[in-house]
């Protein structure tokens, strides 16, 4: 107790015969600890008012008020009105006008201690509840937003942006497993550029995939504390890393890498939180990837991996409309391989299919980046040439014809097959007003070559 003099204790709280005297220590304000950690759980602070040294009293009480289970009670033997004012000024809710029975004081302290403990439990429960509500909200947002987005890159951005709301970090990367290549492919990075200071070598996400477990790392000046062999695998600006495997439907589809928690370093609590959030997120990302793959398969030729006739019609329609709107030209090359039936007859259909794949590779390497190559069907191919007139299209068609003639096909299977091609060219708006006109005119020009000597280029009339 903080009292002016020892004799004030008995005046203030007369003891009862049946109540043993509790362990009470009389002291001055300068003797009371201001460190809440040093205060015993069973402790209580009872002090006398009015008080002249309010600055010191306020300093001591600032520590006691933050101790979770220690009651604070004020009492007065005289000048009660002034004492009540000071108690209110100090933020002390309980003020006793003495004399007051010691048994009553003990009851008040016991009830206050119980109340403080319950209040602490309530605050702790409220914090956990708010955290769980926020986590559930983020999970709902991830599932809703990412599952409604069928573009994989956008789905990834949505997922990571939501995760960074709950666990802010300076940088992130996401790697997806490309199964056909058996490797990790870095999919998305904010801004599209890697800050050298935030560099993280790919051996770290590879380790996560191989071990199939989350990895927390502390770093300093390019050194990885937990794995000295990885020193130099991170940039000097990296303080901490958390790499988490993306699991979808029981298998790992990639790795999410978070770099530099904004406050402190990544913890096991962070890890457990993100693992819960990533489970629905991984499924959403894989759904978007599967949709993109299905979409690509619907416009891709199974054999050559070129675009198919469905995509040809869609893209050419769009190019014709764009050219009409802006007064541009667009050309189409229609190509048919000469005597390709002989390849199948002499070497078999497997060799013929392989030859078509190799022809497709020649076309890819010959045309420009903006041109679109498609397999029309059988041994027929098309090339759409955006913003290209008759003269430019004829030049490209002649280049294609020469490259096919020069190529030797099926060498990897021990054969040496030569193939030539007949090509027809048509241009919008010179040779037609719509996509069907262009396809028909280019096809007819190609058959004019077939009717002559083949292995040539013909422009639609």
Q: How far apart are CA 322 and CA 318, in angstroms?
A: 6
| 283 and 321 inside one domain | no
**What is the predicted pLDDT for the residue at 193?**
47
Domain end point (choices 296, 320, 352): 296
Contact between 60 and 53 under an 8 Å Cβ cutoff? The reply is: no
| 443 and 313 inside one domain | yes
Domain-embedded: residue 127: no
Count of other CB atoms within 10 angstroms of residue 394: 19
| 252 and 348 inside one domain | no
Average pLDDT over residues 37-42: 52
Between 111 and 30, residue with greater pLDDT: 111
Domain-embedded: residue 45: yes
380 φ, ψ to 5°? -110, 140
Contact between 427 and 445 under an 8 Å Cβ cutoff? The reply is: no
Query: What average pLDDT does the chain have?
Result: 85
**What is the predicted pLDDT for the residue at 348?**
93
CATH number at residue 210: 3.30.450.40
| 320 and 389 inside one domain | yes
Q: Which domain holds residue 363?
A: 309-459
Residue 299 burial class via C-beta count within 10 angstroms: exposed 0-12, middle 13-18, buried 19 and up: middle
Domain-embedded: residue 287: yes
Give the Cα-Cα-Cα angle 277, 294, 189 (nearest 5 degrees).
45
Q: Is 428 helix (H, G, I), strand (E, B) or coil?
A: strand
Domain end point (choices 94, 116, 138): 116
User: Could you report the per-residue pLDDT of 82-94, keeping only the tens digit for each?
Assistant: 999 999 999 888 8
Question: pLDDT tier at 192 (50, 70, 90 boundaries)?
Answer: very low
Domain-embedded: residue 133: no
DSSP structure class, residue 20: P
User: Could you report the per-residue pLDDT of 425-447, keeping only the tens digit for each?
Assistant: 999 999 999 999 999 999 999 99
Domain-embedded: residue 143: no
Taking 70 as the threshold, does the pLDDT of residue 41 lie above it?
no
| DSSP conformation letters of 72-91 | EEEEESS-HHHHHHHHHHTT
**What is the predicted pLDDT for the residue at 180?**
63
Domain-embedded: residue 132: no
CATH number at residue 93: 3.40.50
| 286 and 327 inside one domain | no
Structural domain total, the chain: 3
**What is the predicted pLDDT for the residue at 15?**
75
Average pLDDT over residues 49-65: 85
Q: How far apart are CA 410 and CA 431, in angstroms?
A: 37
| 443 and 340 inside one domain | yes
Domain-embedded: residue 80: yes
Of 246-255, 281-290, 310-319, give the lowest mean pLDDT range.
281-290
User: Could you report the per-residue pLDDT of 215-245, keeping only the tens digit for each?
Assistant: 999 888 788 888 888 888 888 889 999 999 9
Q: How far apart are CA 270 and CA 247, in angstroms?
A: 17
CATH number at residue 346: 3.30.70.270
User: Could you report the per-residue pLDDT of 361-411, keeping only the tens digit for each?
Assistant: 999 999 999 999 999 999 999 999 999 999 999 999 999 999 999 999 999
**Closest CA relative to residue 445, chosen from 330, 325, 336, 302:** 336
| 205 and 269 inside one domain | yes
Q: Is 185 helix (H, G, I), strand (E, B) or coil?
A: strand
| 104 and 157 inside one domain | no
Question: pLDDT tier at 191 (50, 70, 90 boundaries)?
Answer: very low
User: Could you report the per-residue pLDDT of 106-156, keeping only the tens digit for each?
Assistant: 888 888 888 888 888 888 888 887 777 776 776 676 666 656 666 777 777
Give the highest mean pLDDT range of 23-37, 258-272, 350-364.
Answer: 350-364
| 336 and 453 inside one domain | yes
| 313 and 453 inside one domain | yes
Residue 136 burial class via C-beta count within 10 angstroms: exposed 0-12, middle 13-18, buried 19 and up: exposed
Between 119 and 179, residue with greater pLDDT: 119
| 272 and 319 inside one domain | no
Q: How far apart are CA 62 and CA 32, in angstroms?
A: 12
| 356 and 450 inside one domain | yes
Domain-embedded: residue 231: yes
């Amino acid at each position: 107790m903080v009292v002016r003099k020892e004799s004030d204790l008995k005046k203030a709280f007369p003891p009862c015969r049946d109540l043993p005297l509790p362990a009470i220590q009389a002291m001055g304000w300068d003797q009371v600890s201001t460190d809440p950690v040093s205060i015993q759980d069973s402790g209580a602070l009872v002090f006398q008012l009015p008080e002249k040294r309010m600055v010191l009293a306020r300093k001591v009480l600032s520590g006691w008020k933050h101790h979770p289970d220690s009651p604070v009670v004020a009492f007065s033997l005289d000048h009660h009105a002034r004492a009540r004012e000071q108690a209110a000024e100090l933020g002390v809710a309980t003020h006793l006008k003495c004399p007051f029975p010691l048994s009553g004081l003990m009851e008040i302290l016991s009830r206050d201690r119980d109340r403080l403990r319950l209040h602490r439990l309530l605050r702790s429960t409220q914090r956990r509840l708010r955290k769980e509500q926020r986590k559930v909200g983020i999970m709902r947002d991830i599932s809703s937003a990412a599952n409604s987005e069928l573009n994989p890159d956008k789905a990834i951005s949505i997922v990571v942006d939501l995760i960074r709301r709950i666990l802010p970090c300076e940088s992130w990367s996401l790697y997806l497993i490309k199964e056909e290549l058996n490797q990790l492919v870095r999919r998305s990075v904010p801004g599209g550029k890697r800050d050298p200071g935030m560099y993280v070598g790919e051996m770290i996400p590879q380790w996560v995939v191989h071990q199939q477990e989350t990895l927390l790392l502390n770093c300093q000046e390019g050194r990885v504390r937990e794995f000295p062999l990885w020193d130099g695998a991170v940039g000097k600006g990296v303080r901490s890393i958390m790499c988490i495997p993306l699991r979808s439907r029981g298998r790992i589809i990639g790795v999410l890498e978070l770099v530099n928690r904004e406050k402190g370093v990544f913890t096991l609590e962070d890890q457990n939180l993100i693992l819960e959030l990533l489970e629905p997120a991984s499924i959403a990302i894989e759904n978007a990837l599967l949709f993109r793959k299905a979409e690509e398969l619907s416009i891709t030729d199974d054999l050559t991996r070129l675009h198919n006739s469905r995509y040809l019609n869609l893209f050419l329609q769009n190019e014709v409309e764009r050219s009409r709107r802006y007064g541009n030209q667009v050309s189409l090359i229609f190509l048919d391989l000469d005597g390709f039936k002989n390849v199948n007859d002499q070497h078999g259909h497997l060799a013929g299919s392989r030859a078509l794949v190799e022809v497709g590779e020649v076309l890819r390497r010959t045309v420009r980046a903006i041109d679109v190559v498609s397999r029309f069907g059988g041994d027929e191919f098309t090339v759409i040439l955006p913003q290209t007139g008759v003269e430019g299209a004829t030049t490209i068609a002649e280049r294609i014809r020469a490259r096919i003639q020069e190529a030797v096909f099926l060498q990897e299977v021990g054969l040496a097959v030569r193939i030539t091609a007949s090509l027809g060219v048509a241009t919008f708006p010179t040779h037609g007003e719509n996509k069907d006109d262009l396809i028909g005119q280019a096809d007819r020009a190609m058959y004019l070559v077939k009717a002559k000597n083949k292995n040539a280029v013909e422009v639609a009339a």
